[in-house]
Amino acid sequence: MTGSGTVPAVPRPAYRRLSVEERRAQLLAAALDLFAHRAPEDVSLDDVAHAAQVSRPLVYRYFPGGKQQLYEAALRSAADILEGCFTEPETGPLTQRLSRALDRYLAFVDQHDAGFAALLQGGSVVETTRTTAIVDEVRRTAADRILHHLDAPEPAPRLRMAVRTWITAVEAASLMWLDADKQPPLDELRDWLVDHFVALLTVTAATDEQTARVTRAALRTETAEGPVAELVRRLLPVLGDASHLL
């Protein structure tokens, strides 16, 4: 166990027997850490037993379904962490809330790089309708949280499509970032994704009444020092060549 995962290993004092729950959590943390850094194909039950410093039969006692069950349990705990990323107090400018959520999400991607890529690129032997359902649930939850922050918990199709499309774009950009040896720096990637959100919401507002309402409300919360103002300032010279369109 490298300790780089976001689920810390349960402390294992030398002479105390772990409770059933502690042992299960320890095995799961070891599994998540292994699945985070290798393709599922390259993780064996022996690896998990070795990382947790227990015997292989003990792993089987807790996870009789073997690697598939361990993978699904590890994915479940990863999904809980990811869904937590989008939990954020409903105060302050929207871009600030989104930046904080993205910081957490991108830190997770950074810490679980190989596993994240293997999961989303698909084609893995451990992929089942259950694992696909867990991934879809994370996307749905993230969309619901964002719509909640937009004060539109029951959005019409156009607004929902905009938010869900952006979430797919975040996933895709995260995969490209991993593929590009983690370039550009995470804060640049985060700021670009926030700008992308603002832009997508704004152009959707051009043709959708509900989105126009939530966009105007969101813009009112932004400050003259915030990212939207910064974006507008940087865009003015680019848009200078578009004055014939006004």
User: How far, in Å, CA of 61 to CA of 85, rounded?
Assistant: 32
What three-state secondary structure class fits 155?
A: coil
Residue 234 sits in the site that holds a copy of itself (CB under 8 A): yes
| Near a copy of itself by CB under 8 A: residue from 69, 100, 164, 178 | 164
DSSP state of 77: H
Task: Provide the CA 52 distance to its chain's centre, in angstroms.
Answer: 26
**Minimum distance of a copy of itself from residue 190's CB (angstroms):** 12
Contact between 57 and a copy of itself by CB under 8 A: the answer reads no
- DSSP, res 207: T
Piece in contact with a copy of itself (CB under 8 A), picked from 39-47, 48-56, 66-74, 168-176: 168-176
Can residue 117 be called a binding residue for a copy of itself (CB under 8 A)?
Answer: no
Asked if residue 99 binds a copy of itself (CB under 8 A), the reply is no
Backbone φ and ψ for 64, nearest 5 degrees, come out as: -60, -20
Cβ of residue 33: shortest distance to a copy of itself, in angstroms? 26
Q: Which residues contact 13 (CB under 8 A, 6 or more apart)?
A: none
Q: Specify the residue for token string 């499309």.
A: 165
Does 128 engage in binding with a copy of itself (CB under 8 A)?
Answer: yes
Closest CA to 25 of 93, 69, 73, 92: 73
Options 8-16, 43-51, 104-112, 161-169: segment touching a copy of itself (CB under 8 A): 161-169
Q: Would you say 6 or 99 has its CB closer to a copy of itself?
A: 99
Q: Would you call the peptide bond into 184 cis, given omega within 30 degrees of 0 as the criterion?
A: yes
Which of 68, 77, 202, 210 contacts a copy of itself by CB under 8 A?
202
Q: How far apart, in whole angstroms, are the C-alpha atoms of residue 53 and residue 1?
A: 10
Q: Which is nearer to a copy of itself, 58 or 172 (CB)?
A: 172
CB atoms within 10 A of CB 174: 22
Interface ranges with a copy of itself (CB under 8 A): 121-123, 127-129, 132, 157-158, 161, 164-166, 168-169, 171-173, 176, 180, 183-184, 188, 191-192, 195-196, 198-200, 202-207, 212, 215-216, 219-220, 222-224, 226, 228-229, 231-232, 234-235, 237-242, 244-246
